[in-house]
A and B are shown apart, each in its own frame.
Chain A
Amino acid sequence: MLCEECKAQQATVHYTQVVNGEKTEMHLCEDCAKARSDIDILGFPGTGFNINSLLAGLMNFEHGPTPAKLRAEACSTCGADYNRFTQSGRLGCADCYKTFAKQISPLLKRIHGTTAHHGKVPSKGAKEISRKRRLTNLKLEQRAAVESEQYEKAAELRDQIRKLELDGQ
């Protein structure tokens, strides 16, 4: 069978499209099929239903329709706005996690049951991450010590915090 479009090459792509119950068949060669934007030669034409649209639905379900102001808010690093995320389910860059932290944090919790990663950490950054985690904990302890008027303990903690902060420089 020859390609219906160029009528020169063998038709190797046999495409059946059903729209509203109406069936159209096309027999094309690979080149002509590639040239047509309405045919996804390797896959299926986009039906718009995938994990991302499901996720987007979940977002709307969680927070109700997104307010216009938030929709237009864009990440200063990559320029992707929140609206894009609710539609595609994909973030634009690593900084979007910070830009949209208020929305992403509850979403992560909803998906994974938690926001806290307990797995592998980059070996290069591992030391730094544990230093920062320790620093946060020490500061919390120090505040509690001051509040309960345990000034000696607070001073000890202050020295430990200073030392850790110097390590990081």
Chain B
Amino acid sequence: MDYKAKWMEGNGPESAIVVSTRVRVARNLAGVPFPGTMNEIQAQGVIATVEAQQGVLEDMHVQRMAELSQVDRLALVEKHLISLDLANKSDGAVAISSDQAVAIMVNEEDHLRIQCLLPGLQLEQAWETASRYDDLLEAEIPFAFHEEYGYLTACPTNAGTGMRASVMLHLPALVGSGHVGKVLAAIGQFGLMARGIYGEGTQAVGQMFQISNQVTSGLPEEEIIRNLRGVVEQIVAQEKAHLKKMTATSRLQVEDRVFRSIGLLSNVRLLSTNEAMSLISDIRLGVAADIIDLSPGLLCQLMVLAQPGVLQKECTESLDSQQRDVKRAEILSKRLKQALRGGNI
């Protein structure tokens, strides 16, 4: 499978700031205990049920976790197609569409997690796609549904619509101006939540944040999505305003930061994942501030290539930590130099 997932094309609306959009719906098969309590035979039964829908699932390919190597599973996590939880489960599986925009996780926390990932801000499109796959499966498999509560999920926090929509944002100007905390804290009032991604605990690496709906019941899916979209558009506008202010007051410093990172990333010999993420973040800032002309897609791809699993798959060999730093430097600098030579700077 190609290392490029659909969202990594980076060509959606607002893609200089909005990296990707994801919508997932949680569904469980009626009459089968949830993955946390079911036995091995039932787990295999759920996978077999999904495999039997091959005709309905168009171009999707089902892969069992037990049949994938550790590196393959890690690479799927890094491409955001499966969760770390699923990667660690031997009785799990995933069905992935040929363009890698749709991934259905099987036997994660719920029997099915139907997700659609698209580049840029495309919440409605991602919901429509996920919902269409939900319809296709639902026509064949009865799902656990309660007249009052809606779709039933292992965790009550997902019950109702079973839908979680999220948007990944790159917010260097809001981080730089110190306003990001205030903005992210305010969104809790809209039934949404925010978290830093890439990095552990509270420290967000690469200035990436994920905004998603917290409440999954009481509103129709379209309304939940409209709320999220409204708030994300506000944050994007805020980020743009801070970018403008930043470049107006200290253009030279911003340019220096961007070109310094380009210089480093094109010439390093040893590169850790975290350093790569921070350099790519600076270059992305240059794209958002119209300082350089590079495609957001290239930056998404570099970001994913910087991760250990995808990197090892690209090299088709298992590498230790230092070998990875060498290869990471080699691959990322080569790709960046190619893009720069392409004359789009």
Contact = CB atoms under 8 A, between A and B. Distances in A.
Interface of A: 1, 10-12, 14, 30, 34, 40-44, 51-52, 55, 77-80, 88-94, 97, 104, 107-108, 111-125, 129, 132-133
A90 B33 CA distance: 12
Contact of B156 (A14, A44, A107, A116): A107
A160 to B, nearest CB: 20
Contacts of A92: 33-34, 36-37
A89 B156 CA distance: 8
Given A11-B320, A42-B87, A117-B149, A78 B156 contact: no
B148 A115 contact: yes
A109 B319 CA distance: 50
B216 A112 contact: yes
A91 B319 CA distance: 41
Given A42-B70, A78-B37, A92-B37, A12 B318 contact: yes
Contact of B70 (A41, A43, A104, A125): A41
A152 B221 CA distance: 42
A55 B157 CA distance: 9
A57 B269 CA distance: 49
B221 A119 contact: yes
B36 A119 contact: no
A82 to B, nearest CB: 13
Interface residues of B, number: 53
A122 B146 CA distance: 10
B160 A90 contact: no
Contact of B320 (A12, A121, A125): A12
Contacts of A97: 146, 149, 152, 159
Interface in B81-134: 84-85, 87-88, 109, 131, 134
Given A40-B88, A77-B33, A118 B218 contact: yes
A46 B37 CA distance: 19
A93 B217 contact: no
A113 B145 contact: no
A45 B134 CA distance: 34
* Interface-central residue, A1, A52, A77, A117, by most chain B CB under 10 Å: A117
Contacts of A122: 138, 142-143, 145
A119 B219 contact: yes
B155 A117 contact: no
B236 interface: no
A70 to B, nearest CB: 17
Contact of B215 (A44, A90, A111): A111
Given A119-B163, A120-B221, A124-B138, A133 B155 contact: no
Contacts of A79: 37
* Interface-central residue, A55, A115, A123, A124, by most chain B CB under 10 Å: A115
Given A94-B28, A122-B142, A115 B147 contact: no
Given A90-B34, A97-B149, A123-B139, A118 B156 contact: no
Contact of A112 (B37, B217, B319): B217
Nearest to B322: A1
B74 A119 contact: no
B160 A119 contact: yes
A22 to B, nearest CB: 20
Contact of A90 (B145, B149, B150, B155): B155
B217 A42 contact: no
A80 B34 CA distance: 11
26 contacts: A10-B320, A12-B319, A42-B73, A42-B74, A43-B88, A77-B33, A89-B155, A91-B154, A91-B155, A92-B37, A93-B32, A93-B37, A97-B149, A104-B156, A112-B159, A114-B218, A115-B217, A117-B150, A117-B217, A118-B219, A119-B150, A120-B161, A122-B143, A124-B138, A124-B142, A129-B147
